[in-house]
Structure 1
Amino acid sequence: MRQNDTQNLALMSTLPGFAEVRSLRAHFTSFAFEPHAHAEYVLGTVQDGVQRYSHRFGESYLQPGGLFTINPDEIHSGAPALQSGYAYRVVYVPQQTVLEAFADVPGADHPRYFLRPEAHDPELARRFSYAMSLFDEDYPENRLEAESHFVACLRDFFTRHAVPDDAEHVGANVRLAARLKCFLYEHAAEGVSLDELAQEAGLSKYHVLRTFKAATGIAPHAFLNQCRVGLARQALEKGHSLTEAALAAGFSDQSHLSRRFKALVGMSPGQYRRQLSR
């Protein structure tokens, strides 16, 4: 898909007061994300327009009031459903941050799991949008109010729409895929062959391909590219140049990094690096 950058805007930043949480504010009219996943929970809302949203259950159309509720490592993608596009606001929240948010709740020491990748909760969507507007417009003047609203929204995302994840529902194929994902991440910079992945799993390469895709929704090479983009993003956040980030992540050159990075992050590596310096 040809992308018109004058009609696609994505702004990524660290959420003030929450150094471990990333925030994305975006408006897309032609850009489509490739299927991908994140190590963190993805929480957010569509603020304008309609997004066509693909996930493990099929496809949904999110309008204002629709919430993103995506678990770590859950494959998803998104694209505009209308020519006018859509605008949304998303935060990426590490699992440890969620556990800390529920530290005062007895018996809430299990990770939480969203049963569906989207939820209809207009009241929470309005509160979440308001909290994000405080960070955008009135922070740090209203720092306490912004941070308090965000924590309250975070807890309501999980108390209203998630359940404790005790791992009893996780089958053998999912556990195997989780182990292989760790292996791919650990060796992302140097690359992994299908034979090496099969040896790690103790299965034939044909069985590995079928099992991995059935459990995750994407092929191993697509997950490897995702890991490499994550490594490049970390390198950029540490102040490395685009060339250094590409090499550190195992990409053959900067142009290869740029193509993969934008398809998964929604902006080019150069745009991402410039936003970090603001």
Structure 2
Amino acid sequence: METKAPSTISYPFLVPAEWYSFLENQHLGAFQQETFELYPTIGKGYLQYLEFQKGFWAQQMNFRLQNALPLIQTPSKINDLFIINFYLTSTSIHQKTNKNRFEFNFDNISVMLSSSAAVFHYNIPAKEDVKIFQIGFTREWLLTNAFEEVSSDLKNIFMGNDPIYMAENLDYQFKYLVEEMDLRNANRLFLFSGALQLLNTFFTKLENRQLNTKDLSNIHHTDLESLLQIRTFMDEDPLKAISLDALAQQSGMSLSKFKRYFKQVFGVTPYQYHLQNKLAVAFNRLGQNYSVSEVAFLLGYNNLSHFSKAFKKQYGFLPSEVQKEVS
């Protein structure tokens, strides 16, 4: 039955299969296997998920609505589910919590971690393309697969039941990892590997943020804007050699101030950020069946073992293992 969409939809945070069944009961579309297709009277497009392990999944949404649709995510009493949203289109989606209002799109804040105890008010616009990729996981999966036995600040965040709202920018490393994550076309093993890399990248950023919350200098907004411009410049061509002196001059700061502020804001040194970008390019090229030696040469490595060592330090496995997963 195809009917007009309700004016507002309230729902608890659900795993994809339950979420799709809920949407079907709201007469927004049809749920079959792992895909939810919108009815033509509602819009055009689909939602699709892929569960890699029990409690760990990826989901993509690619749709265009006929009419704007407000959504309200109601809170649960415990944080047993978590989702990381990657907003991949220029369409702005307004997301409001009890305290803050966010505007998400590809060029603004574009990555958001939230939990099942969170309250969200979304406003999905009409007649605009919306593309969102998600990584979802349960607390049980996270504790089993992601954390060591010892306690950590990051682990403590997920063990609590306070609402979680953590936003990040979609930097070059995220963009490269997300770019090939197409549930309809990519290889399952490659998607599984990519989802783990996205999760690891996000957690690394959160850990860097946590580690750098002590003894921070107050950064003037003009210096912050300069740092964001420098990062954009570095993202535009990750394979181009960088000069820290030139970047500092471009930012209008002294070299020592530039390096100190850069690490404070982004959690890594300028050189480490540049290396992460280069290795993200390598990961992407390996997924496109470039040989390890071709990728090493592309990144400027004369010694193949040095490239393999740097790649494994970044991702936890050798570049040759990426090729095995996509072959």
The two structures share one fold, judged by TM-score above 0.5: no
After TM superposition, the score normalised by the length of structure 1 is: 0.45
After TM superposition, the score normalised by the length of structure 2 is: 0.39
Structure with more relative contact order (C-alpha pairs < 8 Å, separation 6 or more): 1
**Which has the larger Rg?**
2
